[in-house]
Structures are given as C-alpha cells and as structure tokens.
Amino acid sequence: MKNILLSSILGLWLFGLAAQADVVMRDGHPDQHVVVKGDTLWDISGKFLRDPWLWPEIWQVNPQIANPHLIFPGDVINLVYLDGKPRLRVTRGPNSNTVRITPKMRLSPVDNAIPAIPLEKINAFLSNSRIVEEGVLENAPYILAGAQGHIVTAAGDEVYARGYFAPEDEVYGVYRKGEVFRDPKTKEILGIAALDIGGVKKLNVEGDLGHFQVNRSREEIRIEDRLLPNVERRVTATFIPDAPAQEIDGYIAAVEGGVTQIGFMDIVVINKGERDGLAEGNVLAIDRRGERVLDRKEREWVELPDERAGLLMVFRTYERMSYGLVLRATQPLKVMDRVHNP
C-alpha cells in the first residue's frame, strides 16, 4: 500500500494587505478574529479577503513568534495599519499549546495547529486508492492462491502470488482495478484508480512465486488481486494557495462518488495535471458551463455564456489529471464545467 503521510500543518495563513491592486479586503471584514478549534486557514482568510488564495501576498510575520508557520486555537488575529496599509498580525493566545523552554525559545506541538483546509475531507480519500497509468495493474504480480487453498484471505493469513518481485521490495499493497478516468472530450485515459484492498509482507520468493503474510486488509483479498510495491508519496506538507504558473484551461472530468451535482467540499477530478504545469496548492476558478436554450422567437438554439460559479484547490497531482477540493460553490456544479486560472 502506498504510505500516505498527511501533515496537519499545511502552511502559514497570516496576512496583511499589500499594494497589489488585485488584493481586496472583503466588505464587512472584522477587526479581530479569535482562532477556535475547527477553524481552517482558508476560512480565516476568507473572513478578511475577497480572494482567500492571495494570502501569500499579504501576510505579516511577527518577529516575536518563534515559529510563524503555525497558528493555534486561542490565538488572536488583529487588523492593524502599518504605513497606512492594513496588516493582519497574530497574537499568541493562552490556549496556543506552546511550551516555554527558555526566555527566547518555544516548542510548538504542530499536531495542534489548525490546517489550511479540512483534512478529514481528503485524508480518508487519499488512503483508499492510488492512480496508476494504463497497463500497470495488468502487468503487476497477482494473488495466485491463499494458504491451505483459501479462495479469499484476510489479515493474519498467508498467500501466494506470481510475478516479478524486486529483491529490495519487502512490503506490497494489494489493489483492485477501480474507475478508469477518461477525458470526456478526447477520450484519452487520464489515469486508473487502484483501489486499496490490503497489504502484505514478503516471506520468501522462489523464481516468480512469492509467499506473503497478510498484515492488513480493508476487505477480503481475492485471487487475481494485484500487488504493487509500497510507494511513499507525501501530501504537500505546506499548501501555499496560488494561481498556476502556467495558463490552465480545462474542465471537471469526474466527481468522487458519482454524484451528478457537485458542491462545497466535494472532490473532483480535472483533466489537467503535472504535464500541464499544475501543482498541489494551485487554486482554480470554476465556470458553470452555459446551458443550451431554445430561442422561441427566432426558432433556434442558443448557447448561454459560462458563469463564474466556484473555486477549487488542487491537493494531489498526477501526470495527466489532478484531484481538487471544491472550496466555494455559488451554484450547483457538474462534469464538464470549465476550470481555469483565477
């Protein structure tokens, strides 16, 4: 199984207004915000800024804070003015979980700092599958049989698998083919979901026959399930929301769960990835695709213009596709809605 480590600290979200014309304070913004459990950095940013992803342009570092990359429940964010420009600064609160070591040093338990986005929305999702290229599963080693002739096996059992096993690979994930993601327009295969079934540890290999101990199972492991070496890929420890470095013009290709209408906090697949210059943390605008309506007077069909309808943040990229979390949706979204630079 791919070992996924999702840090609870995704980045600094302290901000102060800079000179850029496109950085605009939100109407009715507060002068102060006390951080509470359950806050996310995106939510806090949105209380002050019209466009939350612009925070890297506007944060204000406090020199007295030993680690300015962390904020905690109980910290107070204050709006101040420096040289006539608004800035937001953090003041450590009594519940910020810092422990004084010396008069000039503090130790911060990072697991208590607030995240940038709701981690529970993506953590469980990322642990359930990985995306592979076409042919990877078909050519991977496969479960041949369970010990004592068992057809299905679970944690604690032993299994035999057949295929090539590299000497350096000791632990494997067990996967089953899931959804095939295709570009709705070009029909290109963007990636294939390899569903996580369990994990096995190598006991012995003779030729192309491997003997394994099942050390983890999410469900029953079956004959012909595939084995892939564990690959540790960390989710970016520090999401820095920003616009993509390159021009992106794509669309929503699929939605997790197969729902027809997409909304706030839904996970979507977009048809752009690393080859297109997308990176984890990139923010994309979502335009709802204009509907086709009948002009009854002229007796012809008319395509209505696209309308801005939301925002998403990319949290995992692959070569041809990416996963994004919808962080704003002003109306229901759907597959084929356009995504582009904000």
Give all domains of the chain, ordered by start, each with its CATH number. Answer: 32-116 (no CATH), 129-229 (2.40.10), 249-340 (2.40.10.410)
**Percent of the chain's residues with pLDDT above 70:** 73
Give the pLDDT confidence score for residue 212 in this predicted structure. Answer: 95
Q: Hey, is 127 helix, strand or coil?
A: helix
Whether residue 89 is predicted with pLDDT greater than 80 in this model: the reply is: no
With the CA atoms of 333, 336, 340 and 342 taken in that order, what torsion angle do they form, in degrees rounded to the nearest 10? -10
Q: Which of 75, 55, 61, 69 is nearest to 8 (CA)?
A: 69
Q: What is the 3-state secondary structure (H, E, C) of 169-186?
A: CCEEEEEEEEEEEECCCC
**Mean pLDDT, the chain, integer:** 79
pLDDT digits (tens, 9 = 90+) for 144-179: 998 766 666 777 889 999 999 999 999 999 999 999
Short-list 223, 191, 324, CA closest to 265: 324
The count of C-alpha atoms lying within 13 angstroms of the C-alpha of 57, restricted to the half-sphere facing its C-beta, is 17
Q: What does the pLDDT read at residue 70?
A: 67
At 312 the pLDDT is 93
Question: Does residue 200 contact residue 174 with C-beta atoms inside 8 Å?
Answer: yes
Residue owning tokens 């290709």: 253
When comparing pLDDT for 71 and 21, which is higher? 71
Q: Report the DSSP pairing between strands 85-91 and 76-82.
A: antiparallel
The pLDDT of residue 338 is 95
272, 273, 274, 278 alpha-carbon torsion, rounded to 10°: 70
